[in-house]
Structure 1
C-alpha cells in the first residue's frame, strides 16, 4: 500500500470537456491548441502523452460515465444512471428498488410538442432561487410516492419510491444539454408514458409560468434515472487514500460512493469564475495526509455547451495557470501528475462526444514519448492509446510507483 513516505503523491487534474475539434474562429485550432498553456505543454514534452477511451462503446458520452472511468471503475459494470450518482453526493438514503432521476430546471420555448430546448440550465440559475422553486413545486405538484431533493444551481433530484419494476425505470428522456435548440416532442412522449411523471412536469410548467422567482426557468426535466449506486472502495482498489475536489455533484457522488474524502470549496461554481485557488488550497491541504487527489474543473465543458470558443480557450488557459501551475509549484518533484479531460465537448456540436480524450502523465525522470505540446493532435501522434479507459488510473499509479 502507498504511503506518503515511500511513494510520490498522485495528482489527477481534470478539465471537463476540454477536448474539441478544430474551430474556424480559432484559425482551425482547437481550444487546447489556441490556449496559452505553458505548464501543460512542458509536462507533455517531458512525460507520456496519449489518448484514452473513457466512454465504453455503446454507452452515452456523459460526464457520469467518463468520470467513473477516470476514477478507475468500469462503467459497464457499475453505472446505473446520472441521478443515483448525484444522490450519493447528497447522501440520500435510498431503498434498493427506488428510481432516482436527475431533475434540471430548464428553459424551453414552450412546454408543448412544438417546443424547443433553449437552455438546459435556465440561465445558470442561482442556487437559492432554484432551491426555493423546487421546494414550492414539491409542495404543489409532487405526486404521491415521489420525493424532491434540491441541489446546486439547476441540478436537483426526483426520487420515485419503489419504482424499479415500473415504467419510471424505462423511460428515456434525453439529457437537456444534448438537445439545445432541438425539439422536445420525443421526450414529452416518453414522459406521457408515466402518468405521475406527466402530471408532475405539466404542473411544474404551469406553476413556473405563474412565478419563476425572476429566473428563466419555465420547466423541469427529469432524466438519467437509475437505482442506487454502489462502488468498490477506492482505497482497497488502488491502495491510496484519496479525495475529490469538484463543484459538481456527480463527481462528489462518485467519490462518496467509493469511500473517498469529498472536499467542499466555497465559491466553486462549475463556471469560468470558479474558485480555482480554493480548489488548489483544499487539494494541497489534503495531500499533507493523503496520497491522491482528483481535482475537477467544469468550466471548459460549460463553455463548450455554450458554443463559445473564446470562453472555452480562456477556460483551458485558466486551468493551466490557476490549477496546474500552483499544484506543480507547490509539490515540485514530490508528485506524479495525470492530466486529462473526461470527454470532448466540441464547440461546433455543443454536446459531448465519445471520442478518446488526450491525457498526459509526468513524474520526475520519466522517459518522454515525443509530444511537442498537450493537444488532441499531439496525443494522437504518439500512438499511445489506453482502452478501456477505466484502466488509465491503475496504469498511472503503476507508472508513479504506487
Structure 2
C-alpha cells in the first residue's frame, strides 16, 4: 500500500486496473428444443471450460434490448460497446469500412445486393441471392449497372463478392428510408423505399428510380440470358437495406476513455472497429473451431500487450449453426467452441473475462433472431463467485448479475476491471464511462499570449 500523501488520511490507491476481454458467441441465445430434452443448445452442450468459468465467476442474463426485442448484431454491438447514446450510422456504413471503401461523412449510402426473384402479378418475390459460384456473373452485372445508375446520380461499388455492393447517393445528406430487401423470403415481396422522416423523402425518390432502372436493365441483360440458358436463376433485381450516413462518430477512446481493440471475424466487425478507431487483428474463420477460437484468444492477448484495455473477440459460428434450424447443430458447434476457449482459465487470472451472446438465434421455429436472453458469465480477480456451476440460460438465471441490458454491459465490466469513472469527476471533454487512461495534462510551458506576468 502506498503511504498517504501530505494532509491525507487515506492511503494512495494502488494502480491495479485490469484489461477486459469480451468473447461474443454470435446468436448464442436459444429456445428449449424437444430433441435436446427441452434444453437449449448451451444447456445441452458439453462445455467444461465454460462451466469452469461459470463456477469461478458470476453469471446472469444478457437481454440486449428487453424481452421480445429481436436485436441485430450491429445494433447490439453498438450498445454493448458503449455507443447507445450516439446515433447509429447504419450497417451499410460499417460494411463499407470493413471492405476498405471510402464513405463521405454527409452522403447517403445503402447496402445493395443482386437477388433472384419470382413475379406474381404486380409483385416481385425474392427467391434467393448470389452464391459464391455466381461471383463472375454478379461482378459483370454490377459493372453493367454502374453507368445505368450513374445517369441517375447514384454510385455503385462492389463490396467483395456474392453480388453485394455499396450504393452511394452524393447530394443526399439524409438516408432515412426503409429497406427494400424483405429479408424474409416467405413473408413479404420486394418492398418500396419509404421515407422514415421528411428528410428522407428525396433519397427515397432517387432510390426508387434507381432500383426500377436496375430492374429494367437486369431483366434484359445478356448475362442473365446466359444464366437462363444454363439452367440458373437470373439475378434480376437489386435490393437495398441498412441505409445510413456516416456523420460525426467519436472514437472508442473519446467515447469510453480507454483504448479498445477487436479480433474480427467478418467484414461487419472489421468495419465497426475501423469506424470507432479501434485497433484490430482480422482472422478469417477456419473450419476447425477449436483452433479458430484458440487463435482468437492468442490475438486478444497480443492486443492487450499492445496497449488495448478492452478487446472484443467474436465468432459467428454459433449464429450460423442456429440459422440451419438443425436441432443438434448449435449444440455441436458450442462443444467445439468450448474446446477453443480453454485459454480463458489462465486469462481470467489477470484480466476481466466475459462470455455472452449479442442476441438469440433460435434453432427452431420460423424466426431469424428472437428476444430471449443469452447467457452471460464474467470472471476475473475482482469478481465474486456466485452459486451458478454451469453455462447456459437456465443456470445463468440464478446468477449474481440478474438481467443486463446491452448498454449496461460495458460499465459492468469496467467496474470489475477497477476502471469505473467517478461520477461528477470530469477529466475528459466527453462524459466517458471509464476512468480515462490519458486525459490531457497541463503543460508547464505558458501558452502564447498569456497574461500571466
- How far apart in 1 are the matches of 2:130 and 2:165? 13
Q: Find the partner of 2:39 among 29, 33, 40.
A: 29
Q: Confirm whether residue 43 of structure 1 aligns to residue 53 of structure 2.
A: yes
Structure 2 counterpart of 1:210: 225
Q: Confirm whether residue 337 of structure 1 aligns to residue 346 of structure 2.
A: no
Structure 1 counterpart of 2:267: 249
Equivalence map 1:7-18=2 (5 Å): 7-18=17-28
- How far apart in 2 are the matches of 1:206 and 1:43? 59
Q: Confirm whether residue 198 of structure 1 aligns to residue 212 of structure 2.
A: yes
Deviates more, 1:105-114 or 1:375-384: 105-114
Q: 1:71 to 1:131 in 2, by over 3 A?
A: farther
Q: Find the partner of 1:157 among 146, 166, 182.
A: 166
Instruction: Report the 3-state secondary structure (helix = DSSP H, G, I; strand = E; otherwise coil) of the residue aligned with 1:259.
Output: coil
Q: 1:384 to 1:353 in 2, by over 3 A?
A: same
- How far apart in 2 are the matches of 1:112 and 1:202? 17
Please report how far the alpha carbon of residue 181 of structure 1 lies from its aligned counterpart in structure 2 after TM superposition.
3.4
Matched-pair contact (CA < 8 Å) for 1:133–1:212:
no
Q: Confirm whether residue 181 of structure 1 aligns to residue 197 of structure 2.
A: no
- How far apart in 2 are the matches of 1:188 and 1:274? 45
- How far apart in 1 are the matches of 2:121 and 2:35? 35
Instruction: Report the 3-state secondary structure (helix = DSSP H, G, I; strand = E; otherwise coil) of the residue aligned with 1:338.
Output: strand
Please report how far the alpha carbon of residue 230 of structure 1 lies from its aligned counterpart in structure 2 after TM superposition.
4.0
Cα deviation, 1:164-211, whole Å, max 9, x if unaligned, reads 45xx632333562xx1433424x2576898112222245346546335
Please report how far the alpha carbon of residue 340 of structure 1 lies from its aligned counterpart in structure 2 after TM superposition.
0.9
Please report how far the alpha carbon of residue 87 of structure 1 lies from its aligned counterpart in structure 2 after TM superposition.
2.5
- How far apart in 2 are the matches of 1:30 and 1:58? 17
Q: Tell me the TM-score normalised to structure 2 length.
A: 0.74
Count of aligned residue pairs for this structure pair: 387
Instruction: Report the 3-state secondary structure (helix = DSSP H, G, I; strand = E; otherwise coil) of the residue aligned with 2:53.
Output: helix
Please report how far the alpha carbon of residue 41 of structure 1 lies from its aligned counterpart in structure 2 after TM superposition.
1.4
Please report how far the alpha carbon of residue 129 of structure 1 lies from its aligned counterpart in structure 2 after TM superposition.
4.5
Q: 1:216 to 1:325 in 2, by over 3 A?
A: farther
Structure 1 counterpart of 2:398: 381
Structure 2 counterpart of 1:171: 178
RMSD: 3.5
Equivalence map 1:280-291=2 (5 Å): 280-290=297-307, 291=309
Please report how far the alpha carbon of residue 229 of structure 1 lies from its aligned counterpart in structure 2 after TM superposition.
4.9
Matched-pair contact (CA < 8 Å) for 2:61–2:396:
yes
Structure 1 counterpart of 2:149: 142
Q: 1:126 to 1:327 in 2, by over 3 A?
A: farther
Deviates more, 1:26-35 or 1:104-113: 104-113
Q: 1:6 to 1:232 in 2, by over 3 A?
A: same
- How far apart in 2 are the matches of 1:307 and 1:153? 25
Q: Confirm whether residue 301 of structure 1 aligns to residue 316 of structure 2.
A: no
Larger radius of gyration: 2
Structure 2 counterpart of 1:353: 370
- Which stretches in structure 1 are left out of the alignment for 5+ residues? none
Q: Find the partner of 1:237 among 238, 255, 261.
A: 255
- How far apart in 2 are the matches of 1:368 and 1:107? 53
Matched-pair contact (CA < 8 Å) for 2:180–2:193:
no
Q: Confirm whether residue 369 of structure 1 aligns to residue 383 of structure 2.
A: no
Please report how far the alpha carbon of residue 361 of structure 1 lies from its aligned counterpart in structure 2 after TM superposition.
0.6
Q: Specify which structure has the higher proportion of helix.
A: 1
Greater relative contact order (Cα < 8 A, sep 6+):
1
Instruction: Report the 3-state secondary structure (helix = DSSP H, G, I; strand = E; otherwise coil) of the residue aligned with 2:407.
Output: helix
Deviates more, 1:144-153 or 1:29-38: 144-153
